[in-house]
Amino acid sequence: MLSWITFIPLIGMGIILLLPRNNANLVRWTSLISTTIPLLLGFGLFAKFDRGSAAAQFVERVPWIPAFNIEYFIGVDGLSVAMVLLTVLLCFICVIASWRISDAVKGYHAMFLLLETGMLGVFCALDFFLFFIFWEAMLLPMYFLIGIWGGRDKVYAAIKFFLYTLFGSVLMLLVLLGMYYYSQPHGFDLIQLASTRPFASQTITLLGWQLPLDKVFWVLLFVGFAIKVPIWPFHTWLPWAHVEAPTAVSVVLAGVLLKMGTYGMLRMNFAILPEATKWACNFLAILAVINIIYGAFCAMAQKDLKKLVAYSSISHMGYVLLGMASFTAAGVNGAVLQMFNHGTSTAMLFLLVGVIYDRVHHRWIVKPDGSRGFGGIAAVMPVYTGIMGLAVFASLGLPGLSGFISEALVFLGAFSVPKLQIYVVIGSLGIILGAAYLLWMFMRIFLGPLNDECKALPDMSWRERLALLPLCVLVIVLGVYPMPVLDLMSASISQLLTLFS
Amino acid sequence: MANSALFAHSLQDWIGIGPLWVWAAVSAVVILYAIALPFAGIATYVERKVSADMQDRFGPNRVGPFGILQFIADFVKMLAKQDFIPQGADRILFSLAPILVLAGACAAFAVLPLSKYFLGADMNIGILYALAVTTLIAPGLLLGSWASQNKWSLLGGLRAAAQIISYEIPVALSIFPAILISGTLQIGQIVETQGWVWSAQAGTDYHFWNAFHNPFCFLAMFLLFVGGLAETNRIPFDLPEAESELVSGFSTEFSGMRFGLYALAEFVDIFVMSSIVVALYLGGWQLPFINIDQLSDSIPTLLVAFIQLGCFLVKVFMLVFVVMWLRWTLPRLRVDQLMAACWKGLVPLALVNLLGTAVWMWAFNGRSIAQLVLGPMVN
Amino acid sequence: MAQTCLWIVCLPILAFVIQVFFGKRLPRQGDWVSLAAIGFSLLLAIPIFGRLLSEGHVFDTLSFSWLSLPQTAGAFQIIIGVLVNNFTAIMLMMVTLCAGLIHLFSVGYMHGEDRYHLFFAYISLFSAAMLGLVVSDNLLTFFIFWELMGLCSYLLIGFYYKKPEAIAASLKAFMTTRIGDVGLFLGLCGLYAVFGTSQFESIYAAVASGAAESKTLLGMPALTFIGFMVLMGAIGKSAQFPLHVWLPDAMEGPTPVSALIHAATMVAAGVFLLIRMFPVLEASHTVLVYVAYVGAVTAFLAALLAIVQVDIKKVLAYSTISQLGYMVMGVGVGAFAAAFLHLITHACFKACLFLCSGSVIHSVHTQDMREMGGLKSKMPWTFACMLIATLSISGLPFFSGFVSKDRVLAGALAYGMEHTGHWLIPLLGFAAAGITAFYMFRLIYMTFFGSARDEHKHHHAHEQPIVMVLPLVVLATLSFAVWFSGPTGVDAFDQVFSVHWYEHAVAGVEKEMALPAPVEHHEGIHHVAHSLALIFSLVLAGAGIFFSSLVYLKGWISPVKLKSFFSPIHTLLWNKYYFDHLYINIIIQKGLLGWNRFLAAFDDWVIDRILVDGWSRIVLFIKSIVGLFDDLVIDRMLVDGSAGMTAMGGWAVRRIQTGKVQHYLIASLAALGFGLFYLIGMR
Amino acid sequence: MTTGLKIVLLLAELLCVSSAILVTFHPNILHAAVALLFAFLGVAVMFVYAGADFIAGVQVIVYVGGVTVLVLFAVMLTHWLYKVTLRDVRKKLIVPIVLLVILLVPAVYKSLVELASSSQNIAPERVAEFAGSAKTALIGQALLGNYLLPFEAITILLLGALVGAVGLARPK
Amino acid sequence: MNILDWAVSLEGYLCVGAILFFLGLAAVLYRRNAIGILLGIELILNAASINFIAFSKYRAVAIDGQLVTLFIILIAAAEAAVALAIILRLYRLRETVDAGEASIMRN
């Protein structure tokens, strides 16, 4: 069933490539269908997922390259099921949202479906080699999507994104090989590696230095995933990639791609190298806090709406990191929930930004020459303002909406750990700043006297509302009662945390 | 060694003293001056008489009875005339050229088969020597015409040289059938093989003159004769001295004795050519139906020699008469016609004859028509 | 009874949902839906209050596990639920009553505004949030509804979103309260870290049992940390001193909003929080003093500010801050019961004052008192209610204000006498009382007495319709002391008709909180303080009234001269102690935004340009060098060089080829000669 | 061999050498050509004395009759009638000549003498007998016997040369 | 060994051959006129023939030497013909027969 979910988009891509070039609508409908089916299967997955067990489910295991005993080993456990559901949902919404893309439609949708397969593959793969392949596979369509359909200097952004992530994946490749070499039965199986954790005691000599193996692996993996998350020093590609990517792509980029970094850390760093993780816990917390504060401050200074949202997602990912660094049930669960909630809220924000961009073709809150980009849109587009308000309050963590639950859990979890308390206090500053830049943005764009430029803006079309509806429902429902998502992950997280008690 | 230098030996025996080579030299000189020079003089006279007769006029009849001594008069005039070298001419070559021409012509005498015994030097390569020596004439003419620094003489000289050299080829080719039949280059031998042989026991020896050995040889004889005419620049091939165009051709600038040498050379050459024809195809000294050799034991060799000499000279004079005869009958050929006749006419014909003779020899194992026709009858 | 509370909360939420989605299309844009909702809630609240009055004690809890995460040791549980005790009942009664009246009032006030249905949606959401806060049995849901109220205040203050000042005020309000909320949230985290739960009963029990003494949070004793954080929350929400700047600006919102949110309910939530967490504050010993000081200082300074205000609503806003200061001081000095009573009475008369000012504004269409005057004859009902409320707030006998204020001041005085080190607290309290009377009567005189300063507006002034006046009257009647203690408000006199339901309620709550019994031997001081406070407050109130009538009624002392006399103080007050300037220009503009711009620039230039693109520049540099090397060394020297040499060699050899045949022959013969010579000669 | 014949041979050799000297150094190319003619005649005589009568005949026919005439033709065709005399021999190359002669002559002479002495001596009477015998028949048999291939090759070569010469010399 | 015997002997022939060879060589090398060169070549060939004939008489006592001479003569004739044709061509092309002039192939 899992293989079907992963590879139906690929089949869809194949079909699309065969379709005639001029019939854009046909291409769009096929792409829509090939994302709806995984969505439906996703619901099935959600229904049939056994909340109790921590082990990997829906496992499909076929020996692929026996020589290096690499297996086509797919499975979903607590950590990844939420992400799979999120990916499937977001891709479905993005296809609807990218209905207005008109140039090279075939290429666009083909690349998009390939991207979806890549992402689903990353979350489902339980074999490190397969994980790496999907990781790289996901990279390429992303490059094309940004590079071709992007904004003004899209090529710079695409190349920067590609090279940066590639640098990260190169480090991951090193660890891949290292793990293969140093693990006893020479395998890539993550589950088996997680259970045996062979690298704790071994050491490696690098340039004459005698280094503990697990710490070396941990650092390399961490840098690889940090680029993806993105964590503070490695984050500069994100604003560029977001600003230049088309709406649907930046939704997927923010919604899913960022989570791969943290998911990777949980699956690799935490599960396989627990001692190294404990050793680096403090370092992780510091970076998390920097991420939160730094993201918030930068967001506040941005003039471009999409860049603001990009920096806000950096800040939100900071919470995820803080939660992971706490090693407490509340913390880690909060982190994974935050990955999901951030996915939904940022997706809404980006879609809404896309809506305004399609109408006005610029995203300046404050134009470079200092004049107001927008102003008083509430009078002209009431529905849009309403949904934007919901999205803003969800992402700034207003209680009653999903953002708050995960933040609360993260802070509760982190505060219970004595040495992390100071970080929580500093982190809480992020909540205030988050509220500040988002509401300031909301005020400057939606409230105040009507800017004559946007006098005649039409309100949201029914297609845009359809795209946003599921996200709004999710945000409100998970805000009120988060258990449906939480109990998906809590079992395997608790099993993961047994390593850290 | 048999007949070589027979004449020399006979002289040495007759005089008895001195080494043989001295006598060889003397014999050469004797033949030359005894035969060649008077013949030349007589020939001039005869020619003028014959041509006069043909033109229905009298010819030279002032000097001596019937103008017989005309040639002596000419000769004396030649000697008396001033022999000068034109200004700017190449003195050495101017004097050397006539000598070369005359030497070329006279040298051939050594080989002519006057008779079985009056044979200069019956060399093994006989006929080849004759051909070789006569080729000296061509450079001689060339040098003479060039040395005289005269456009007309130069053109005449070039034409003469070209003519002589081109016609050497048909002459050589038409000699070969005779050689094929008699199997040797020695002219003496060739003449021997042409003797009439009657006796049956010889089996294959029913010979007669080569000309009648096979049809090809017959044709080869005529070819040789025509080639000979061309070699000696006689009508119809006498373009070099064609009065109307090139004054007197290559010898325009020569006067006095040098001109005399040229005239002498011309007549000696005619004599040599006709004697070669006679020697190869008309049986040389062989009487038509009598084989003197077989009879020689009964007649003193000297008599046999002179009979053979007489027979040979009669044949030669007949041919010379034909030559003179032709002078006033055939029109003169243009240069290109001359060349075309040689290369497109005579040479292919000669080749055919050679091939024909060879095939004949191979087919009939060397027997002549006579043997073929008479052979079955005889035995 | 807990289920009814759930219903009380859910009805307004339902109304909110209906209004948002269908409000525009409903008849009268759905205002009756909200009215009905709050009305039913009122009806449901009355029986609960009734039981309290009759049985003197109400207690019911209902809780369920909202979120449970398995972890190695058992599970991380978050249990939320409903707690109904005496205070909850009282608060329910007060909130639903005020909200209902204000709904009624706003039907008239907001008539004809665009987004009318949204106004009612927001108000019903706010009521739901306040009710939810009141009934919640743990700090987490308390915090959730706390923040929802913040949202509603943001939305309502910014209701007239076209006015830039309004939206600025809403943002300021939300941000300042948000700062406070963060403090509260950290407190919540502290609670979970220490007690593992945030339910009040379990906390009261744990605190009583002294379990948390040993634990420390961030180096401080746990309870002190939690106490401070809670205080921070209260300061933010109840606009106490450092974070009070948002309340005066919040007056930009429509008046009913100001009445409901910024008088009666929301700002009171902070005090209610302190009261709920009183056992924790009590146990941490050090926090209460700070609470008291915050309260006292706020009361005094806010009162001073109120004197110089010219905008009618601003005056009332500062008076609210000052009265809240009283409540916080009350909690700080341990008299949390008095604070609670003052909270209730203040809600009534302050709501009445705001609504009266609303009707005045509605009629003269301006908020500036200098353009009013002589409205007494024009708006008799409004004047009457306003006068009653003013008398109540000034703390004159027969009025509810006197009852509660007197108890607070008595507690403060008792505290001052016990802890003589803190003499400043009662002093500030009594001073504030005096000043309150002064500025309140200044307001009355400037609006209703004297001659009309603006004929045009005066002419248009007219009494409001019944739907607006009715709530005024009801609230005015509630401002009398008779409801709370007795007709005169002074215990000594109204022994006969004294009302004791409140004392019983307080006793019930104290039992629940399992507070350590206060040390009895101070009983004497308590009684003495009580009588002294009575005398002081009456004297000071009288003086205040006398002075303001001197200045504003009789005009003997012209305000201008006063202003010039106290000019330095006046300018200080006029600029609101430069707090706004400090916050806006310095902290926000220069500090925060400047730092952000610097950080963004730093991020863009340093990290992006240098660290990342720098690499590409290095690679390009290396590439050019290698390219240069390759071009110069290899191409030039090796390749072209060898080509050059061969060309030279060719040239040298070529000279031999002279073209003359003989030369070649000579050469070959020479070679032959050498060969022969060598072969033969050498041998 | 009679002394007279030896004298004739000596004269022929002297003729050869003197005419060869003339050919080399005579300024006038025409005279050189004539000298060449006499050189060939001298060589032919030497051949006769060496018992190669047939070769002598061929030598005279080919060289004297053919090549010399050819050379004369060439000279006449390539020189203006009046510019017969030609300053021909180069002076400045005398030094190499001397060098060459010094170097080559002793070497060649030494090698010839060595060659001459190295091969075995033949009895003089056999040599004389061989010299006197008739060579034409022997040559004929040899040509069509052992030397058939060179004979055929020569025929082709001559044909080629004939066609080539005609082709080259044809006027355009 | 008087001059007569020497003349007839092998040494005589070889000397004459050598002299002819060198003279021919000198002619070839120093004649400016192309035809002069040709003469030189003819002399050289004759020198070779003399040697052959001499050796065929005095050493080999066989007609092979003569046959080679025959071939030399034939080839020399062919060579002379072609050479002269070339010289004529050269003359027609360059208006001169000076060997030095025909040095187009120089460097």
Nearest-by-Cβ selection for E85 from D59, D147, D165:
D165
Establish whether chain A is in contact with chain C, requiring a minimum of 3 CB pairs below 8 angstroms.
Answer: yes
* pTM for this model (two decimals): 0.65
Put simply, whether C676 touches D (Cβ < 8 Å) is yes
Query: D37 with D65, same domain?
Result: yes
Comparison of pLDDT for D40 and B13, the residue scoring more? D40
What pLDDT band is residue A13 in, cutting at 50, 70 and 90?
very high
Mean of pLDDT values over D75-102: 64
Comparison of pLDDT for C637 and C313, the residue scoring more? C313
Q: Is the pLDDT of residue B221 over 60?
A: yes
Is B115:B306 a contact under the CB 8 Å cutoff?
yes
C-alpha D56: how far from its chain's center?
10
Q: Is the pLDDT of residue B1 over 50?
A: no
- Nearest CA to B231 among B348, B130, B110, B84? B130
Query: D142 with D96, same domain?
Result: no
Q: Tell the burial category of C151 from Cβ atoms under 10 Å away from its Cβ (0-12, 13-18, 19+).
A: buried
Look at residue B197 in the predicted model and tell me its pLDDT. Answer: 67
Contact E85 D52 (CB under 8 A): no
The amino acid occupying position C275 is I
Is B94:B88 a contact under the CB 8 Å cutoff?
no
Burial E75-86 (b: 16+ CB within 10 A, else e): bbbbbbbbbbbb
> A127 forms bridges with which residues in the sheet?
A189
Distance (Å, rounded) from C-alpha A413 to C-alpha A329? 7
Least confident of A456-460, C56-60, D1-5: D1-5
Nearest-by-Cβ selection for E36 from D9, D32, D157:
D32
On whether residue D69 sits in a domain, the answer given is yes
H helices present in C110-221, as ranges: 116-135, 139-157, 164-195, 200-209
What pLDDT band is residue B296 in, cutting at 50, 70 and 90?
low
What distance in Å separates residue D82's CA from the closest CA in chain B? Answer: 8
Distance (Å, rounded) from C-alpha A1 to C-alpha C519? 72
Look at residue B16 in the predicted model and tell me its pLDDT. Answer: 67
Mean pLDDT of chain C: 84
What distance in Å separates residue D93's CA from the closest CA in chain E? Answer: 7
Is D107:C680 a contact under the CB 8 Å cutoff?
yes
Q: Is the pLDDT of residue C328 over 80?
A: yes
Establish whether chain E is in contact with chain D, requiring a minimum of 3 CB pairs below 8 angstroms.
Answer: yes
* C–D CB contacts, 8 A cutoff, strictly below: 23
Contact B129 D57 (CB under 8 A): yes
What distance in Å separates residue D130's CA from the closest CA in chain E? Answer: 7
The full length of chain E comes to: 107
What pLDDT band is residue A391 in, cutting at 50, 70 and 90?
very high
What pLDDT band is residue C510 in, cutting at 50, 70 and 90?
confident
Distance (Å, rounded) from C-alpha B37 to C-alpha B260? 11
Burial C434-467 (b: 16+ CB within 10 A, else e): bbbbbbbbbbbbbbbbbebebeebbeebebbeee
Within A161-219, strands assigned E span: 203-206, 209-212
**D146: nearest CA in chain E?**
E64
What pLDDT band is residue B3 in, cutting at 50, 70 and 90?
very low
Q: Is the pLDDT of residue B4 over 50?
A: no
Put simply, whether C652 touches E (Cβ < 8 Å) is no
Query: D65 with D38, same domain?
Result: yes
Contact E55 D164 (CB under 8 A): no
Look at residue B2 in the predicted model and tell me its pLDDT. Answer: 37
Look at residue E76 in the predicted model and tell me its pLDDT. Answer: 92
Q: Is the pLDDT of residue B271 over 80?
A: yes
Comparison of pLDDT for E95 and B228, the residue scoring more? B228
Residues of A with Cβ-Cβ distance to C143 under 8 angstroms: 399
Residues of A with Cβ-Cβ distance to C68 under 8 angstroms: 483
Identify from D89, D105, D111, D113 which residue to disrupt to test chain C contact, counting C C-beta atoms within 10 A and taking the largest count: D111
Every domain of chain E and the residues it spans: 3-102
Put simply, whether C625 touches D (Cβ < 8 Å) is no
**C229: nearest CA in chain A?**
A425
Q: Is the pLDDT of residue A354 over 70?
A: yes
Query: Which structural domain range is residue D55 located in?
Result: 3-86+134-169
Residues of D with Cβ-Cβ distance to B21 under 8 angstroms: 2, 4-5, 8
Residue D80 belongs to what H/E stretch? none
Look at residue B293 in the predicted model and tell me its pLDDT. Answer: 67
**C163: nearest CA in chain A?**
A448
Query: D37 with D49, same domain?
Result: yes
What pLDDT band is residue B5 in, cutting at 50, 70 and 90?
low
Contact C76 A329 (CB under 8 A): yes
Q: Is the pLDDT of residue C399 over 50?
A: yes
Look at residue C615 in the predicted model and tell me its pLDDT. Answer: 77
Mean pLDDT of chain A: 89
The token pair that represents C182 in the structure block: 């963060």
Residues of C with Cβ-Cβ distance to A298 under 8 angstroms: 596, 599-600, 603
Look at residue C184 in the predicted model and tell me its pLDDT. Answer: 92
Chains that touch C (3 or more CB pairs under 8 A): A, D, E
Look at residue D94 in the predicted model and tell me its pLDDT. Answer: 67
Residues of E with Cβ-Cβ distance to C656 under 8 angstroms: 107
How many domains are there within chain D? 2
Report for B245-249, C305-309, C606-610, D26-30: range of highest mean pLDDT? C305-309
Mean of pLDDT values over C417-441: 87
**Whole-number percent of chain C with pLDDT over 90:** 11
Look at residue C196 in the predicted model and tell me its pLDDT. Answer: 82
Angle at CA C147, nearest 5°, toward C475 and A294?
145
Distance (Å, rounded) from C-alpha D93 to C-alpha D75? 24
Distance (Å, rounded) from C-alpha C106 to C-alpha C469? 11
Interface of A with C in 296-355 (CB under 8 A): 297-298, 300-302, 328-330, 333
Every domain of chain B and the residues it spans: 23-80, 90-377
Look at residue A194 in the predicted model and tell me its pLDDT. Answer: 84
Put simply, whether E92 touches C (Cβ < 8 Å) is no
Comparison of pLDDT for C520 and B209, the residue scoring more? B209
C-alpha C366: how far from its chain's center?
27
The token pair that represents C138 in the structure block: 């743990």
Residues of C with Cβ-Cβ distance to E29 under 8 angstroms: 662, 665-666, 669
**A71 by DSSP, 3-state: which?**
strand
Q: Is the pLDDT of residue B294 over 60?
A: yes
Does the structural domain E3-102 have CATH classification 3.40.50.2020? Answer: no
Identify from B131, B153, B185, B187 which residue to disrupt to test chain D contact, counting D C-beta atoms within 10 A and taking the largest count: B185
**E105: nearest CA in chain C?**
C659
**Whole-number percent of chain C with pLDDT over 70:** 96
Distance (Å, rounded) from C-alpha C58 to C-alpha B25? 183
Residues of E with Cβ-Cβ distance to D71 under 8 angstroms: 35, 38-39, 80, 84
Identify from C662, C665, C668, C677 which residue to disrupt to test chain D contact, counting D C-beta atoms within 10 A and taking the largest count: C677
Report pLDDT digits (tens) over C523-541. 677 778 888 888 888 888 8
Interface of E with D in 8-47 (CB under 8 A): 8, 10-14, 16-27, 29-33, 35-36, 38-40, 42-43, 46
C-alpha C606: how far from its chain's center?
38
Mean of pLDDT values over D14-39: 88
Look at residue A495 in the predicted model and tell me its pLDDT. Answer: 87
Report pLDDT digits (tens) over A92-148. 999 998 888 888 889 999 999 999 999 999 999 999 999 999 999 988 999 999 988
Put simply, whether E104 touches D (Cβ < 8 Å) is no
What distance in Å separates residue E4's CA from the closest CA in chain C? Answer: 31
Number of other residues whose CB lies within 10 A of the CB of residue C13: 18
**A480 by DSSP, 3-state: which?**
helix
Contacts of B359 by beta carbon, 8 Å cutoff, 6+ apart: none
Distance (Å, rounded) from C-alpha B149 to C-alpha D68? 20
Q: Is the pLDDT of residue C617 over 70?
A: yes
**Whole-number percent of chain A with pLDDT over 90:** 36
Residue in the block written with tokens 């092979």:
E64
* Cα-only R_g, chain C: 39
Residues of E with Cβ-Cβ distance to C658 under 8 angstroms: 103, 106-107
Contact D107 C677 (CB under 8 A): yes
Establish whether chain B is in contact with chain E, requiring a minimum of 3 CB pairs below 8 angstroms.
Answer: no
Look at residue C205 in the predicted model and tell me its pLDDT. Answer: 87
Distance (Å, rounded) from C-alpha B123 to C-alpha B111? 7
Q: Is the pLDDT of residue B241 over 80?
A: no
Q: How far is CA C475 from CA C322, C382, C467, C489, in A?
A: 20, 12, 13, 18
Report pLDDT digits (tens) over A47-76. 988 888 888 888 888 888 888 888 899 999
Look at residue D87 in the predicted model and tell me its pLDDT. Answer: 53
> What's the number of CA atoms in the CB half-sphere (13 Å) around residue B233?
29
Mean pLDDT of chain B: 80
Look at residue B267 in the predicted model and tell me its pLDDT. Answer: 86
Mean of pLDDT values over D8-29: 87
Identify from E86, E90, E103 which residue to disrupt to test chain C contact, counting C C-beta atoms within 10 A and taking the largest count: E103
Q: Is the pLDDT of residue A166 over 80?
A: yes
Contact C148 A297 (CB under 8 A): no
Mean of pLDDT values over C448-460: 80
Distance (Å, rounded) from C-alpha A499 to C-alpha C83? 39
Mean of pLDDT values over C630-645: 77
Number of other residues whose CB lies within 10 A of the CB of residue C536: 19
Query: D97 with D70, same domain?
Result: no
Q: Is the pLDDT of residue C250 over 80?
A: yes
Put simply, whether C670 touches D (Cβ < 8 Å) is yes
Put simply, whether D24 touches C (Cβ < 8 Å) is no
Q: Is the pLDDT of residue B351 over 90?
A: yes
**Whole-number percent of chain D with pLDDT over 70:** 83
What distance in Å separates residue D112's CA from the closest CA in chain E? Answer: 7
**D57: nearest CA in chain E?**
E70
Nearest-by-Cβ selection for C70 from A329, A422, A435:
A329
Report for A377-391, B48-62, B141-155, C585-599: range of highest mean pLDDT? A377-391
Residues of C with Cβ-Cβ distance to D96 under 8 angstroms: 666
**C152: nearest CA in chain A?**
A398
Query: D73 with D113, same domain?
Result: no
* Cis-peptide into B236, omega within 30 deg: yes
Contact E88 D17 (CB under 8 A): no
Look at residue C375 in the predicted model and tell me its pLDDT. Answer: 82
Distance (Å, rounded) from C-alpha C215 to C-alpha B326? 163
Look at residue A343 in the predicted model and tell me its pLDDT. Answer: 92
What pLDDT band is residue E5 in, cutting at 50, 70 and 90?
confident
Mean of pLDDT values over A158-181: 89
- Nearest CA to D7 among E15, E4, E10, B23? E4
